[in-house]
Amino acid sequence: MTQEQTAVDGDWHRVHPASPFVRGWVALVAIVYFFGRDTFERALQGRGNIGDNFNERTPWLLAGGGVVLLLALGSFVLSWYFTRYQLAEGYVRVNTGFLFKQQRQARLDRVQAIDIVQPLLARIFGLAELKFEVADAGHSAVRLSYLRLAQAKQLRATILGRAAGIADGSETVEVPEAPEQVVLYLPPGRLVGSLILSEQSFFIVLSAIASVLVSVLTESRAFILYLIPAILGLGTAYWRSFNTGYNFTAAISPDGIRLRYGLLDTRAQTVPPGRIQALKVTQPPLWRILGWYRIHVNVAGYGEHHRSEGEHRTMLLPVGRKPEVMMMLSLVLPDPGTADPERVFTAGLTGLDSGAGFVTTPKRAWILSPLGWRRNGFLSTDTALLLRSGRLWRKLVMVPHQRTQSIALRQGPLARLFGVADLVLHTTPGPVAPRLIQAATEEAVSLFDQQAARARKARKLQSSEQWLAQLPPAAMPAPPTTHAMQHSPTQEEPDHG
Amino acid sequence: MHTAAIDPPGIQWLRVSPKYVTVRLVEWAIGNVIMVGLFSLPLLFVELGWWRWPSLWLAVTVPAALLLLALWRLVLIPRQVRAIGYAERDDDLLIRRGIFFQRTMVVPYGRMQYVDVAVGPVERLLGLCTLKLHTASAGTNAHLPGLPAAEGARLREQLSARGEARLAGL
């Protein structure tokens, strides 16, 4: 097996032989435990395996266990043998299964995002899973598990290179890993702080006070006992957030935005330029004290399906101050389409009324949202539409014009009474649902018309899915901070474990 | 026809076939007759003396309220059908619907992933069809019911051709 040298030609390759074991180790442990328990217990109790009741179940159990184990191992080997992948003619193809065969293929130029995932055990063995998202919600991810880490990175570079249009599909030369520069690192202290100040904690404190009051009033201690499972559940939730948010690093490269995070299980996401369909910046009330924000994005293919996983994958910035938010915004939208992006985005994040050109809910409709009417508003720059809302839970949504799918204008009887209407922008499935609420009818209608025209214009300018091929090499999209980009693969995944 | 306040100015709306009212009536009848019938059962049982629990006034009020609601919706159907409209523009398709809760939607041709034509049993009898547009967004819930079959086929071909010509990536 000379996989490493030939990983990118048109041949069929197999994944790493250890893959099924890394994936199915739980099954193996379960089998051994189930059939071997009796024997272990005897051994622990100092009795011999061949004890007083030799003819009873122990040997049968061991033999049965052996057979099941062999079957499991056999199926592992078979599944490894029949799992093959190929990268050729602009497609990546993966064949799996020996009884029920499945062939899955995905177009390289439709790649929306590539993840390299390393669960703990895979990390120990230096293996990694490559996940390849195409533009289809949820289920169509092509996944290769597991490859050696270096090989996975190489494959990722090749796929991105071909998808970007810089490497011809017919070549067999390896595409070098794109250089990248780290632009953001999240210190663990701030992650902990963000968890402590999250909404979740707010409700915990609230319910803790309530339960203490209840137990004092009813003078029963038993009530506390009911809280134990709740505390355990919350503990796991916090742990999961900490585990996935740990070491969050954002970097930029010509391949797009790279995000890496994770304490035990690590994940490195690459989102090519222009693949972010919509973005939202939110600020829970408690975060206002420290001026923190977080950013979620919609990327086609991430979808909403696998909830707990998707939640973290769509996080562009788990917690950050305003300068970091501005930087991430500039990465997502290199051309903000306005002369003074700082002022515009600041008004979007924290502003009220018509500062920086935002158009808000008319005063006549204040009763529909007594708190938020001064904040609900929109602003259209040359490249994106900004929608802001929320007085307590501040929110700013940004949709690039060329990513708009379809637009709907809605008006119910009450809204009609106050002469306001809602504008809904449809985007790929994800955590961001752009909606302009309670805009004056005439403004909403004209925005509806203009937005359709802007989206049309923006789509015409964007000529190709291959983001590097459409530009002359000299004009590679270099986000603001990358002028001093080194041409060596620096700062690639530090070798954990 | 009237154009509502949220419609973009200067649009010449095309209406769906008036025969679509029949389809809606059949749907209405199936849904509401069953519903009202079901909720009238307690009344029947109470009258027959089989049941004691729902007191007579409750057994009367619930189906009566449902009946009123159903009749109200029946009255609305023709107007709702008249409120459905579509307009083909150079680069996008506009669809509107609704009287109380109005919605006007624009779907760019270049964003359409595929176009479905669906025909139900009642629609088939009347020679109608329903056109469904799909984009990469699940939120695009664009269907255009009650089109005459020929118009549906024409629109499908037209939309597919225009979509092909203007197809953009995501």
- DSSP symbols for A124-159: HTTEEEEEEEESSSSTT-EEEEEEEHHHHHHHHHHH
Please give the mean pLDDT across all residues of chain A: 81
Contacts of A441 in chain B (CB under 8 A): 5-6
Return residues 417-456 of A near B (CB < 8 Å). 419, 421, 424, 426-429, 433, 441, 444-445, 448-449, 452, 455-456
Interface check for A18 against chain B (CB to CB < 8 A): the answer is no
Contacts of B92 in chain A (CB under 8 A): 452, 456
User: Once rounded to an integer, what is the mean pLDDT over residues A303-324?
Assistant: 78
Output the pLDDT for position A137: 45
Q: Closest Cα of chain B to A448: distance in Å? A: 8
Find the helix packing angle between A57-81 and A19-44, rounded to 10°. Answer: 170
Output the pLDDT for position A469: 56
Has residue A261 got a pLDDT over 60? yes
Q: Say if CB B170 and CB A428 are below 8 A apart.
A: yes
How many Å apart are CA A222 and CA A357, to the nearest integer? 58
Band the pLDDT of A5: cuts 50, 70, 90.
Answer: very low
Contacts of B106 in chain A (CB under 8 A): 406-408, 448, 452
Q: Say if CB A93 and CB A108 are below 8 A apart.
A: no
Report CB contact under 8 Å: B106, A452: yes
User: Which are the contacts of A7, defined by CB distance < 8 A and separation ≥ 6?
Assistant: A13, A87, A151, A154, A155, A158, A174
Output the pLDDT for position B169: 64
For chain B, what's the residue count?
170
Q: Closest Cα of chain B to A406: distance in Å? A: 5
Residue scoring higher pLDDT (A483 or A433): A433
Residue scoring higher pLDDT (A493 or A114): A114
Output the pLDDT for position A362: 93
Candidate from A195-199, A208-212, B2-6, B135-139 with smallest mean pLDDT: B2-6
Report CB contact under 8 Å: A410, B168: no
Helix or strand run (H / E) with residue A241: helix A222-245
Number of Cβ within a 10 Å radius of residue A71: 11
Contacts of B111 in chain A (CB under 8 A): 404-406
Three-state DSSP state, A82: coil
Has residue A485 got a pLDDT over 70? no
CA atoms within 13 A of residue A120's CA, in its CB half-sphere: 5
How many Å apart are CA A161 and CA A317, to the nearest integer? 26
Task: Render pLDDT for B51-96 as a digit per residue (tens, 0 to 9).
Answer: 877 788 888 888 899 999 999 999 999 999 999 999 998 888 999 9
Task: Render pLDDT for A472-482 as a digit per residue (tens, 0 to 9).
Answer: 443 334 443 33
How many Å apart are CA A92 and CA A86, to the nearest integer? 6
Q: Say if CB A312 and CB A245 are below 8 A apart.
A: yes
* Minimal-distance CA residue of chain A relative to B91: A456
Output the pLDDT for position A297: 92
Please provide residue A435's backbone torsions phi and psi, each rounded to the nearest 5 degrees.
Answer: -150, 125
Helix or strand run (H / E) with residue A452: helix A441-461
How many Å apart are CA B151 and CA B129, to the nearest integer? 9
Task: Render pLDDT for B118-144 as a digit per residue (tens, 0 to 9).
Answer: 999 999 999 999 999 888 887 788 889
Task: Render pLDDT for A14-71 as a digit per residue (tens, 0 to 9).
Answer: 888 888 888 888 888 888 888 777 777 777 776 655 555 555 667 777 888 888 889 9
Q: Which of A108, A426, A451 to mutate to test the interface with B (most CBs of B within 10 A)?
A: A426
Quick check: bond before A146 cis, omega within 30? yes
Q: Which of A406, A409, A445, A466 to mutate to test the interface with B (most CBs of B within 10 A)?
A: A406
Q: Closest Cα of chain B to A432: distance in Å? A: 12
Q: Closest Cα of chain A to B150: distance in Å? A: 26
| Cβ pairs A/B, distance under 8 A | 105
Candidate from A362-371, A410-419, A460-469 with smallest mean pLDDT: A460-469
Report CB contact under 8 Å: B137, A413: no
Candidate from A205-214, A413-422, B96-105, B151-160 with smallest mean pLDDT: A205-214
Three-state DSSP state, A480: coil
Output the pLDDT for position B80: 93
User: What token pair was written down for A27?
Assistant: 């099954």
Report CB contact under 8 Å: A405, B140: yes
The answer to whether ipTM exceeds 0.95 is no
Output the pLDDT for position A49: 53
Find the helix packing angle between A322-332 and A341-350, rounded to 10°. Answer: 120
For the question of whether the overall pTM of this predicted structure is more than 0.90, the answer is no
Band the pLDDT of A309: cuts 50, 70, 90.
Answer: low
